[in-house]
Structure 1
Amino acid sequence: MSLVQTSWLDDAAGIAELRLARAPVNALDPELCTALREAVDSSVANGARAIVLSADRRPDGPTVFSAGLDVPLLLSLGDDRERLRAAWESFFDAARALASCPVPVVAAIGGHAPAGGCVLALCCDYRVMATSADPDKPLRIGLNETQVGLAVPEGVQRLLRRVVGAYRAERLLVAGEMVDGAHAQAIGLVDALVPADDVTGHAAAWLGRLLALPQPAMLRTRAIARADVFEAMQPEHIALESFLDAWYAPATQQALHALVARLRK
Structure 2
Amino acid sequence: MNTIHVTIKDRLAILTLNRGKSNAMNREMITELTDMLLNIEKDDNIGGLLITGRDNFFSAGLDLIELYGYDQEDTRSFWELFLRFGSIITAFKKPLVAALNGHAPAGGCVIALACDARVMAEGKFIIGLNEVPVGIIVPDSIFQLYAFWLGHAAASRSLLEGKLFDPEEALKIGLVDELVKPESIMTAAERKVRKYMAFEPQTWQQSKLNIRAGIIAATSADQTLALDRMLEQWWSPATRSILKMLIDNLKK
Q: TM-score, normalised by structure 1?
A: 0.90
Structure 1 residue 7 corresponds to structure 2 residue 22 = no
Between the aligned residues of both structures, percent identity stands at 34
Whether 1:211 and 2:197 are equivalent positions in the alignment is yes
Counterparts of 1:51-66 in structure 2 under 5 Å?
51-57=49-55, 63-66=56-59
User: For 1:103-182, what aligned pairs fall within 5 Å after superposition?
Assistant: 103-132=94-123, 138-182=124-168
AA in 2 matched with 1:7: T
AA aligned opposite 2:52: S
Q: CA RMSD in A?
A: 1.5
Unaligned runs of 5+ in 2: none
Residues 84 and 220 in structure 2, CA contact (< 8 A), matched pair in contact too:
no
Secondary structure at the counterpart of residue 233 of structure 1: helix
Query: Which of 220, 230, 235 is the aligned partner of 1:248?
Result: 235
Deviations 1:143-162 (A, max 9, x none): 00011111211111111111
Q: Give the Cα–Cα distance (whole angstroms) in 2 for the partners of residues 165 and 89 of structure 1.
A: 26
Equivalent of 1:183, from 169, 178, 190? Answer: 169
- Distance in 1, matches of 2:84 and 2:185, equals 26
The equivalent of 1:74 in structure 2 is: 67
Do 1:67 and 1:114's aligned partners in 2 also have CA atoms closer than 8 Å? yes
- Give the match's secondary structure for 1:254: helix
Measure the CA separation in 2 of the matches of 1:99 and 1:5.
Answer: 21
TM-score by length of 2: 0.94
Q: Could you tell me how far 1:184 is from its partner in structure 2? A: 0.3
Contact (CA 8 Å) 1:4, 1:21: kept in 2 or not?
yes
Report the equivalent of 1:195: 181
Residue 237 (structure 1) shift? 4.9
Unaligned runs of 5+ in 1: 58-62, 133-137
Cα offsets for 1:126-174 (capped at 9, x unmatched): 1111112xxxxx1110100011111211111111111111111111111
Listed one character per residue, the Cα deviations across residues 37-82 of structure 1 (whole Å, up to 9, x for unaligned) are 111122233321110011122xxxxx111111111111112xx211
Q: Which residue of 2 aligns with 1:135?
A: none
Shift of 1:203: 1.5
Q: Distance in 2 between matches of 1:214 and 1:116?
A: 32
Aligned amino acid, residue 5 of structure 1: H
Q: Tell me the amino acid that sits aligned with residue 32 of structure 2.
A: A
Opposite residue 121 of structure 1, the aligned amino acid is A
Q: Distance in 2 between matches of 1:100 and 1:157?
A: 16
Which of residues 214, 221, 232 is equivalent to 1:228? 214
Q: Partner of 1:236: helix, strand, or coil?
A: coil
Say whether 1:259 aligns with 2:252: no
